[in-house]
Amino acid sequence: MTIDVSNIKPLRPYLLRAHYEWLVDNNLTPYLLVNTTYPGADVPLELAKNGEIVFNISMSALDSLSLGNDFITFNASFNGKTRQIIIPLGGVVAIYAKENNMGLGFPPESYYENEREALEAKQSIQVLEENNSSEVLDPAKKTSKKNPKTTNQKSTEKNTTSKKESPAKKSNTPKKASHLRIID
């Protein structure tokens, strides 16, 4: 029997859940290292450093933790305000213990690299569509004019460019992985 490897689900969510359970069973505090530049990550960017953020995902630190196959979601309080956090599994860099840094770093998987490229392409198309819809036809003059709702189009284009450049730079091995010990 031949298995079509293109249809195999990624290993990351299963390893993440197993390692999370192992940390909790050993009374260790699970920390999650996340790449904030991964498309779809909804995290407090004001707390990020070098495109990464670390979350304490112990049950005492947050509410409604869900370790799904596609996303990790939970509610947590930051500066006194509760916020829902959404992390695509492709944005998870590592899970480790606060107390001893024992953990598991996740190497790049082609599934997530392909997902990232598709999401970035979709975002680029959305930005282009937004820019194109900013021009409206003035029926009285039969000419096009800029939509008054759209301002700072140049800054939007700059932000789009920097978004495209950042993920390419972040596709390297994470800088903080050196503090992790990989468990065989």
Instruction: Check: CB of residue 67 under 8 Å from CB of residue 20.
Output: yes
Q: Is residue 184 part of a domain?
A: no
Give me the mean pLDDT over the 121-138 stretch.
Answer: 72
DSSP 175: G
Q: Are residues 35 and 95 in the same domain?
A: yes
Q: Are residues 116 and 92 in the same domain?
A: no
Q: Is residue 48 part of a domain?
A: yes
Residues contacting 38, CB < 8 A, separation 6+: 88, 90, 91, 116, 167
| pLDDT tens per residue across span 83-100 | 999 999 999 999 999 999
> Phi and psi at residue 95, in whole multiples of 5°?
-130, 135
Q: Are residues 61 and 30 in the same domain?
A: yes
59: CATH: 2.30.30.220
CA dihedral 39, 44, 50, 53 (to 10 degrees): -90
Q: Are residues 73 and 138 in the same domain?
A: no
Question: How many domains in the chain?
Answer: 2
Give me the mean pLDDT over the 98-110 stretch.
Answer: 93
Residue that is last in its domain, among 106, 141, 161: 106
Q: Are residues 14 and 83 in the same domain?
A: yes
| pLDDT tens per residue across span 21-57 | 999 999 999 999 999 999 999 999 999 999 999 999 9
Give 123's pLDDT tier (boundaries 50, 70, 90).
confident
Q: Are residues 79 and 156 in the same domain?
A: no
Domain residues for the domain of 142 are 108-172
Q: Are residues 26 and 90 in the same domain?
A: yes
pLDDT beyond 70 at 58 = yes
Tell me, what's the pLDDT at 140? Answer: 53
Q: Are residues 127 and 101 in the same domain?
A: no
Q: Are residues 92 and 127 in the same domain?
A: no
- Tell me the pLDDT of the chain averaged across its residues: 78
The answer to whether the pTM exceeds 0.75 is no
Q: Are residues 95 and 114 in the same domain?
A: no
pLDDT beyond 90 at 132 = no
* CA distance to 17, 58, 95, 148, per residue, from 100 (Å): 19, 15, 12, 55
Tokens encoding 64: 């409604």
Q: Is residue 181 part of a domain?
A: no
Q: Are residues 87 and 154 in the same domain?
A: no
Tell me, what's the pLDDT at 126? Answer: 79
Tell me, what's the pLDDT at 29? Answer: 98
| pLDDT tens per residue across span 146-171 | 444 444 433 333 333 333 333 333 34
Q: Is residue 115 part of a domain?
A: yes
Residue that is last in its domain, among 106, 121, 138: 106
Tell me, what's the pLDDT at 49? Answer: 96
Tell me, what's the pLDDT at 179? Answer: 44
Is the Cα torsion angle 177, 180, 181, 184 positive or negative in sign?
negative
pLDDT beyond 60 at 1 = yes
Closest of 96, 70, 73, 69 to residue 85, by C-alpha: 73
Give 136's pLDDT tier (boundaries 50, 70, 90).
low
